[in-house]
Amino acid sequence: MTEKTSPASGAALAGDPSERPVLRVEGLHHSYGAGTAAVHALRGASFAVRRGELVALKGRSGSGKTTLLHLIGGLDSPQRGRVVLDGTDLSELGESELLALRRDRIGFVFQSFGLIPILTAAENVGVPLRLRRTGFREREERVALLLALVGLAGHAAQRPAELSGGQQQRVAIARALANRPALLLADEPTGQLDAATGLAVMELLRAVVRSEGVTALVATHDPQLLGLADRVLELSDGEVVEG
Ligand code: ADP
Ligand code: MG
């Protein structure tokens, strides 16, 4: 079995670019450790996500959700199989190309927000734009627009410690959208929030997927959030099944 797709399957997708999925995951295998101690987190996970979809990824704790998101986001490379983002096979990229893809094409939202404590909300949102050397004026405008989008226009100057958990996650979502990514990856984004705040954050994700035309893959095991997704996938025994 070869891990590369044949030219034929590539050609089948080449016709209409709008029909091409934003994300294609093919036969991913990933394990940790070796020998009898090895944990097989993924055993042939495959699925595709179309442009503009909000897809929820459920699965019990330890089912491989984080592993899968890391492989899709290029934070780790699979032992077998491949990830194709917007027609680009991640395994064919060099280190600097992968870095650029992570910076420009993917937005990450983590359970623990991941904001930089000494920066204000506005400065945190502006970090990806600085990394891309976006000019001052354009940066200021985009940051203001993003903070308004997530309902935090009046909180630009506050640091993370001066914001609630829900507000911090809104800042993180704004930051993840800064570079207009093709794909937003969120790993249990409501895991540290109470139920009502978590629902509000998920509703925000739902709204930005519509308004920003972004595509999102959200790992969650919160049943009240699954209803907001266009589609639910489940990780079970290292494979992805339609939920
Ligand atoms: P989830 O996010 O669904 O809880 P993970 O992807 O974090 O699942 O973990 C899948 C499996 O891989 C679990 O059994 C976990 O213990 C194991 N695992 C994850 N990361 C590591 C690691 N860095 N080293 C060893 N085992 C790991
Ligand atoms: Mg996890």
pLDDT of residue 18: 60
- Which residue has the CA at smallest separation from atom 21 of ligand 1? 32
Cα 59 to Cα 235: distance, rounded to the nearest angstrom: 5
Amino acid at 122: A
Beta strand 215-219 pairing with 183-187 = parallel
The CA-based angle 198-238-1, given to 5 degrees, is 140
pLDDT tens string, the chain, 243 residues long: the values are 444 444 444 444 444 556 789 999 999 999 999 888 999 999 999 999 999 999 999 999 999 999 999 999 999 999 999 999 999 999 999 999 999 999 999 999 999 999 999 999 999 999 999 999 999 999 999 999 999 999 999 999 999 999 999 999 999 999 999 999 999 999 999 999 999 999 999 999 999 999 999 999 999 988 878 999 999 999 999 999 987
- For ligand 1, mutation pick of 43, 58, 61, 66 (most atoms within 8 Å of CB): 66
Q: Which ligand is nearest to the CA of 68?
A: 1
Backbone angles phi, psi at 217, to 5 degrees: -125, 115
Beta strand 54-58 pairing with 106-109 = unpaired
Please indicate whether residue 197, judged by its CB atom, sits closer than 6 Å to ligand 1.
no
Question: H or E element: which one contains 152?
Answer: none
Cα 196 to Cα 160: distance, rounded to the nearest angstrom: 20
Cα 2 to Cα 163: distance, rounded to the nearest angstrom: 50
Please indicate whether residue 66, judged by its CB atom, sits closer than 6 Å to ligand 1.
yes
pLDDT of residue 23: 97
Please indicate whether residue 142, judged by its CB atom, sits closer than 6 Å to ligand 1.
no
CA dihedral (154, 157, 162, 166) positive or negative? positive
Amino acid at 166: G
Name the pTM for this structure.
Answer: 0.91
The Å distance, Cα 220 to ligand 2 centre, comes to 9
Please indicate whether residue 112, judged by its CB atom, sits closer than 6 Å to ligand 1.
no
Spatial CB neighbours of 156, under 8 Å, sequence gap ≥ 6: 120, 121, 122, 143, 144, 147
Please indicate whether residue 37, judged by its CB atom, sits closer than 6 Å to ligand 1.
no
